[in-house]
Structure 1
Amino acid sequence: QPDRAKDSLLKTAQRWGVQIIAIGNGTASRETEALVAEVIKIAAFPLKYVMVSEAGASVYSASEAARAEFPDLDATQRGNVSIARRLQDPLAELVKIDPKALGVGLYQHDVDQKRLGEQLGTVVESCVNFVGVDLNTASAALLGYVAGLNSKTAKAVVAHRDENGPFGARKQLLKVKGLGPKAFEQSAGFLRIPEASDPLDNTAVHPESYAAARALLARYGEKHTRLPDVAARVRKLFADKESTPAQLAADLGIGEPTLNDMLDAMARPGRDPRDDAPPPLLRADVLKMEDLQPGMQLRGTVRNVVDFGAFVDIGVKQDGLVHVSELADRFVRNPLDVVQVGDVVDVRVLSIDHARGRIGLSMKKGG
């Protein structure tokens, strides 16, 4: 009963102030997309939708972690929550799933599973530490990937937070049972506290460099000067040749690379490197193959990368193929050198085969 479903979806979105609907890209996703697009047409408020990869969602929904997190929901509802959260913060959600369950590539089951698991774990750990983690909102699953922490200490951090309230400073981590000075030293620089009284606790500056950072702030800032303003002031001194990084680093008793890292961190407190990536594609309507014409310029999301090219979701029922020869204006040996799954790319329609449901695309700029 499509009309009843549309009415129910519209009322739910209106009641809860929904602005974006996340649709899993699995079974019946295109039918769901068409239904949502019809709801958006009749909605009297701003509403968009976005396609989200649901790889591994079923694995998570049946896991012990999901049952502990949502004991009153069934597996389908847990999967729905996982898909919605992937739109909000993909990394925080995907760490709850064994990376092998995400479908990491062709022939993944034919290689040494132990080595594959180790390599994937290293990649996830690298991603988590590169992005940084909010100490007061992160789950135990996410904290467990922070350098210096493990599953046991991550759970201890969450238990301490639940019992004593949010952390107000990084140094309070030392009060967590089972977390010693060494673990603190390794992990502190990757943990952020946006609400901290000390603004340095919301940067990538490590506590062991706080003395130098405070000396820098005392020299180039007043009591309430914002960190980015101090960083900008110091960079201007370098540009005007009034000082040099080497000279200032020597004055502060730190190395020049440490000073540069410190200034970068202070320039953007709470920086999330993912903010620099293209945002997900929000759509309001569904394209049909009949709407496509050769030469049309579209924007899409890379859904899969194979040896012979990349499949791109451009908002029609069938993903289009960018053949390896059309990925760039130069010779491309490996498509992964140009695109990754999840990339938002600009494409041009080359051909439409209605009979076989195939769409040829190009990413070449030269036409």
Structure 2
Amino acid sequence: MSNWEAPNNLTAAARLARTIAQDLSLKPNQVAGAVALLDEGNTIPFIARYRKERTGSLDEEQLRAVDERLRYLRGLEERKQTVLASIQEQGKLTEELAAAIMQADTLQAVEDLYLPFRPKRRTRAAVARSLGLEPLAQIMLEQPRHPRPEDAASDFLSEDLPDVEAALAGARDIVAEVMAETASIRQFARDQHQERGEISSEVVDEDADPQGKYALYYEFSAPVRRVQPHQILALNRGEAEKVLRVRLTGPDEAIQRMAGQTLGLDPRSPWAEQMLAAIEDGYSRLLAPAVIRDVRRALTEAADDHAIAAFQKNLRNLLLQPPLRQRTVMGIDPAYRTGCKVAVCDPTGKVLVTATIYPHPPQKRRDEALETLAQLVKRFRVDAIAIGNGTASRETEQLVADLVRERVQGVAYAMVNEAGASVYSASPLARQELPDLDVSLRGAVSIARRLQDPLAELVKIDPKSIGVGLYQHDVDQKKLAAALDAVVESVVNSVGVNVNTASPALLARVAGLTPRTAAN
């Protein structure tokens, strides 16, 4: 019974295309064309621009949605086959179970169905089974009028089970696990926590938060369905830093009541007390902790997605800043003790000269710095000055303002986001582009070039190093990297490049070009 397939006359590829088309409100032939092109290894910008006839003119956003859904559904199908093979190997696969697994439309649903058959560590229920208490647990689930619990349990006494209560406790452990691993009960409990649950936090160690970053969450409470993405990220970070204790609670009584109904709890049966105890124990010990983990994971994933979408927008805005064409630009990387690094770049980005000035404490050689800057501006006919917005940036901006007012009227200046400049400075690409410059001076070159052509310069840096949002280090890093990479790829292909002056790093992002082709 291997390679199970849902009964359908359509091919697997056609079923996949139809499912994605329904999910995304597209036409099946559009999706089929996109899937085929993606499977051939084509990039999304390439497909969007040069293969419109095969996708019915799907745009980049639609293609990325198709690609994401395709990956999920293929992962889902692969997991189904793995689960089916595992259960079949155990000799426990029935037609009904196989059909339920094949019809499951989420990974969570598949995992819920697989849970009772998943290899486990030695649980309390496993210990009870090893003592031969499975038949007693089955009697407990059936809840007959006769025999009574004490009478039934007496047949299972042994050296390891010296009394009736020990036998019944073992049987309850088995029933508790059965309840907690019933797929319909787990899904109901999950839904109830999401719809009616509440998430709260309290401060654990106020001394661990000297700046009061988490003060809003020292006594915080909100319904799960209304909690905001940024609040989830803040709660997660505060918990990770051991400042906050976070709790998620749900309607416990309603869930236990539903579990009893699902297991056919009979209040008139002499076994009712045993069943209620097993359900209560299984809920508090097994089901509730697992469901709370699931719900918190879902909340975090949703918060990650929301934050990543914001980071993508921020990065796109950074990359699409208008360039300062045909201008000679001076870049200044501010600092105190080590001095401000200065670089002048011609309109093509070629480095003309570099220098280091010491206008700030501890040296305070301000007049000398002004004279050096004035000479460089006049000598190389600098049109604009770019100032990095890091350490000592305000003092450096005042220095440049005085320079323009007193010595080189007419030169414009601007603050430039220097995030990632130090990462670029020490990168292999920077060593290749600027082999004769000290690493400390390369940052000033990058700052100057960012004003001249933000896209051409920022594309050389790992997008995560550019600094695109408050919680960017808290979200799923693999997902963030892929999302930001997609933005860079999209912007480059939307704006276009000058092949005569573009760097290999920029050319490599052009649809249809590979890094090797770009380097040549």
Structure ranking higher in helix proportion: 2
| TM norm structure 2 | 0.29
Structure ranking higher in strand proportion: 1
